[in-house]
A and B are shown apart, each in its own frame.
Chain A
Amino acid sequence: MKNILTSLAVAGTMALGSVTAVQAEGQGLLDTIIERDSLLCTGHNGSYLGFAEVDGQGEWQGFDIEFCKALATAILGSPDKLQIIPVSWAQRFPSIQSGDIDVIIKVTGWTMTRDTELGLQYSRPYFIGPFYVMSKTELEAEGIADLEGGVFCVNAGTTVERVLTDYMETNGIDYEPLAFEKGEELRAAFYAGRCDAIAGFGPFLSATRVNADNPDDFEILGDVLALEPEGIVVKQGEDDLLDVINWMVSALIMAEENGVTQANVDEMKANPPTASIGRLLGSTPGVGARLGLNDDWAYNVIKTVGNYGEIYDRTVGEGSRYKLPRGLNNLWNNGGLLYPLVLD
């Protein structure tokens, strides 16, 4: 039995070529990625509206995918050196532990269990997801309390499930929960009227509403169930990679704050208006080396995907069909929670 399995597995490995790099002792994941010359990032098994969806030509698109591209560009210089591995919600943690993927960029909430018991490490949040409840206009609910006794649908295995339970218990509202594994099934059930309300991640709710036959049939209630900071996840101990991720997120925010866009980045690089922009875009050498990257890493990222605001608008914001307002995901000086780290 053993021999057969072994030889089959070996034969299979040789036939198809192994994508799991053999990780030498003491070598960090960042080095492995550079050596492999490709980044393994998360996709979705199906579509998660606005964040990871597939277009008619089989290309991945969405907010999370743009961050995958940005990271691939920061490390390897090109968004083409990216492999999107489709994984389901349930699979994302086992997959990163087993090395099938390098990072999880899949609107993954920062929870204590995941951070500690699963042996994972979070980057600074790249998205703040408020949880809302969306209900049908005809029910004329003004707040969640008006939906007493109703059926609330959620995505199974996500943090929403817990957040809703807590909220309802705290406020003493009686309700009937119903959980679905996939977003498609959840939406279908809601449209059909199986649920009185969906509790979920704000962007997902807006997308669901926009997709309805008649969006005015549904409304998102003002009550916020909770906020969830979404981080990029790496394995515990991959500090070098985590540094790159944190500074990449910061660079995108800093670029927006300073008006550096995809269109004017060349000009900015040639004539940096401030010293810190010079450091960011690599006009002043030496910054990239601290992260183990080239000096033009941030320039490449902005040239490829644009700044934070541009990514947002293109995938989920005004420039997309979902028209999600920036809300908390705006710069600190525009009433949001985003701020860059200090680039000295």
Chain B
Amino acid sequence: MAIDAHAPPPIATGPAAWLRKHFFATWYDTIFSLVFAILIYLALKAFIGWAFVDAIWRVENKDLCTHDAGACWAVIESRGRLILFGLYPYEEQWRSTLACLAVIVTIALSCLPSFWSIRRLPILWVAGFTTFVLLMRGGFAGLELVTSEQWGGLSLTIFIFSGVFVIGMPLAVLFALARRSSLPVIAKSFGFFIDIVRSLPLLTLLFAAAVVVPLLVPDWLQGNKLMRVVIAFAIFFAAYQAEIIRAGLQSTSQGQEEAAVALGMPYWSLVIDILLPQAFRNTLPSTINQAVITFKETSIVTIIGFFEVMASGNAAIGTGEWGNQYVEVYVFLALIYFVFVFGLSRYGAWLETRMRLGHA
């Protein structure tokens, strides 16, 4: 059977060819491109009209805010501080801002590869976290004492997020090692525990931590509600993160472990110096992804009575004056979450590329 020789496909260049290749390659590409171009145009036009062109920006013009007008951003001017700081005392809100910055700097620093060492990272986090608590809580050096019941807004969201991370990470390592343990009872129990926690909605764990735990443990062990909730959240995070770390541990070659045992390395040294650094490096993208999910999930604590940013957003519209501006407030909240989460996920994507190229 003879095969006809085809001429090589013509090499097309120029904008027309580029357009054809990317948007109009086949008839269904063409239809798709046209329909979506129109839809995107309409959506953008409506959104820009609402959010910018017809928007009302200043509180003085509040009377103009009706259903027919555009976005009423005046609500953010008037209630923005409530959304960002919650119930934190008005005069002391600079502390909340500083504390927030401290944790953000910590997060940013720990994203730098030069901080990725099993000793530097914990030190950095403990330092950042302590700064945060000291600033928020005060009660020394003339700073007014602000108890955790009054913490709120973005700094509470960030506190819960970082608290969960700081407590959850070591727990996750422990869970992962326990599940891999050669002792069957321990491996099985932790496996069972992790699976159970993973199949529960976070909300049920938080609810239990907030209201049931106080009935089940002696008084001296109760701590305060925020602490209980952060610990429950951390256990939840750890159950997920443990599986990620376990996958990372499995991906390190068996030979290294055997070599270390042959050299007579103690177990803990094997884990800390050889296994964990590799496991963490291999699973960084999934860890970032888990962090993103955790950040979004902090919004759930509003249901058990904490004034994190979602709850204070709700409180901002829960007053007579601004009751109808809920769309604007929700858009504002979505933007806050988006900034953090998008930043983290872009960073994750960058890491993925970097590692694929073999830098890490």
Interface residues, chain A, with chain B CB atoms under 8 Å away = 1, 4-6, 8-10, 12-13, 15-20, 22-23, 45-49, 53-60, 83-88, 91, 94-95, 97-100, 182-184, 187-188, 191, 207, 210-211, 213, 321-322
Among B148, B171, B220, the residue within 8 A (CB) of A4 is B171
> Could you give, for residues 125-164 of chain B, a 1 whenever the CB lies within 8 Å of some chain A CB and a 0 otherwise?
0000000010001000000000111101000000000000
New contact pairs (11) apart from A18-B224, A54-B312, CB-CB < 8 Å: A9-B222, A9-B223, A9-B231, A47-B318, A48-B318, A56-B78, A58-B82, A88-B304, A95-B305, A187-B323, A211-B323
A4 to B81, CA, bound (A): 38
> Could you give, for residues 205-230 of chain B, a 1 whenever the CB lies within 8 Å of some chain A CB and a 0 otherwise?
00000111111000111111111101
CB distance from A79 to the nearest CB of B (A): 15
Q: Are B215 and A58 in contact (CB under 8 A)?
A: no
CB distance from A171 to the nearest CB of B (A): 32
Contacting A at CB under 8 A, from B299-331, are 302-307, 311-312, 314-321, 323-324, 326
A18 to B133, CA, bound (A): 14
Q: Are A8 and B167 in contact (CB under 8 A)?
A: yes
**Given that A49-B320, A56-B79 are contacting pairs, would A19 and B224 also be in contact in the complex, using a CB cutoff of 8 Å?**
yes
Interface residues, chain B, with chain A CB atoms under 8 Å away = 66-67, 78-79, 81-82, 85-90, 133, 137, 147-150, 152, 167, 171, 174, 193, 210-215, 219-228, 230-231, 302-307, 311-312, 314-321, 323-324, 326
CB distance from A29 to the nearest CB of B (A): 14
Q: Which residues of B contact A22 (CB under 8 A)?
A: 219-220
Q: Which residues of B contact A57 (CB under 8 A)?
A: 81-82, 90
Q: Which residues of A contact B230 (CB under 8 A)?
A: 12
Q: Are A16 and B78 in contact (CB under 8 A)?
A: no
A99 to B213, CA, bound (A): 11
Q: Are A20 and B82 in contact (CB under 8 A)?
A: no
The residue in B230, B303, B321, B323 that gathers the most chain A C-beta atoms within 10 A of its C-beta is B323
A sample of 29 inter-chain contacts (CB < 8 A) reads A6-B221, A8-B167, A9-B221, A16-B223, A20-B224, A23-B219, A45-B304, A45-B307, A46-B315, A47-B319, A55-B319, A56-B78, A57-B82, A57-B90, A58-B81, A58-B82, A84-B87, A85-B149, A85-B305, A88-B305, A97-B211, A98-B214, A98-B215, A188-B326, A191-B324, A211-B320, A211-B323, A321-B321, A322-B320
Q: Are A91 and B174 in contact (CB under 8 A)?
A: no
Q: Are A54 and B87 in contact (CB under 8 A)?
A: yes
Smallest CB gap from B80: residue in A:
A56
Q: Which residues of B contact A100 (CB under 8 A)?
A: 210-211, 214, 225
A32 to B227, CA, bound (A): 22
Q: Which residues of B contact A9 (CB under 8 A)?
A: 221-223, 227-228, 231
Q: Are B305 and A53 in contact (CB under 8 A)?
A: no
A322 to B213, CA, bound (A): 40
CB distance from B350 to the nearest CB of A (A): 33
Q: Are B219 and A210 in contact (CB under 8 A)?
A: no
CB distance from A237 to the nearest CB of B (A): 16
A127 to B86, CA, bound (A): 29
Q: Which residues of B contact A10 (CB under 8 A)?
A: 221
Smallest CB gap from B307: residue in A:
A86
Q: Are B66 and A213 in contact (CB under 8 A)?
A: yes
Q: Which residues of A contact B152 (CB under 8 A)?
A: 58
Q: Are A213 and B67 in contact (CB under 8 A)?
A: yes
Among A8, A17, A18, A94, the residue within 8 A (CB) of B212 is A94
Q: Which residues of A contact B303 (CB under 8 A)?
A: 45, 88
A184 to B325, CA, bound (A): 11
Q: Are B302 and A45 in contact (CB under 8 A)?
A: yes
Smallest CB gap from B231: residue in A:
A8
Q: Are A16 and B305 in contact (CB under 8 A)?
A: no
CB distance from A181 to the nearest CB of B (A): 8
Among B193, B231, B321, the residue within 8 A (CB) of A12 is B231
Q: Which residues of A contact B231 (CB under 8 A)?
A: 5, 8-9, 12
**Given that A12-B223, A184-B314 are contacting pairs, would A54 and B319 also be in contact in the complex, using a CB cutoff of 8 Å?**
yes
Q: Are A53 and B318 in contact (CB under 8 A)?
A: yes
A191 to B324, CA, bound (A): 9
6 closest residue pairs by CB, A with B: A47-B318, A98-B214, A94-B211, A12-B227, A57-B90, A13-B223
CB distance from B117 to the nearest CB of A (A): 24
Q: Which residues of A contact B324 (CB under 8 A)?
A: 191, 211, 213
Q: Are A16 and B148 in contact (CB under 8 A)?
A: yes
The residue in A15, A17, A45, A184 that gathers the most chain B C-beta atoms within 10 A of its C-beta is A45
A49 to B86, CA, bound (A): 17
Q: Which residues of B contact A60 (CB under 8 A)?
A: 87
A86 to B303, CA, bound (A): 10
A55 to B137, CA, bound (A): 22
Q: Are A45 and B311 in contact (CB under 8 A)?
A: yes
**Given that A10-B221, A85-B305, A211-B323 are contacting pairs, would A16 and B67 also be in contact in the complex, using a CB cutoff of 8 Å?**
no
Smallest CB gap from A50: residue in B:
B320
CB distance from B11 to the nearest CB of A (A): 58
Q: Which residues of A contact B133 (CB under 8 A)?
A: 15-16
A191 to B147, CA, bound (A): 38
Q: Which residues of A contact B319 (CB under 8 A)?
A: 47, 49, 53-55
A60 to B86, CA, bound (A): 11
CB distance from B301 to the nearest CB of A (A): 10
Among B66, B147, B211, B302, the residue within 8 A (CB) of A95 is B211
Q: Are B315 and A54 in contact (CB under 8 A)?
A: yes
CB distance from A1 to the nearest CB of B (A): 8
A47 to B312, CA, bound (A): 9
Q: Which residues of B contact A210 (CB under 8 A)?
A: 320
A53 to B311, CA, bound (A): 12
CB distance from A159 to the nearest CB of B (A): 20
A182 to B87, CA, bound (A): 19
A184 to B215, CA, bound (A): 31
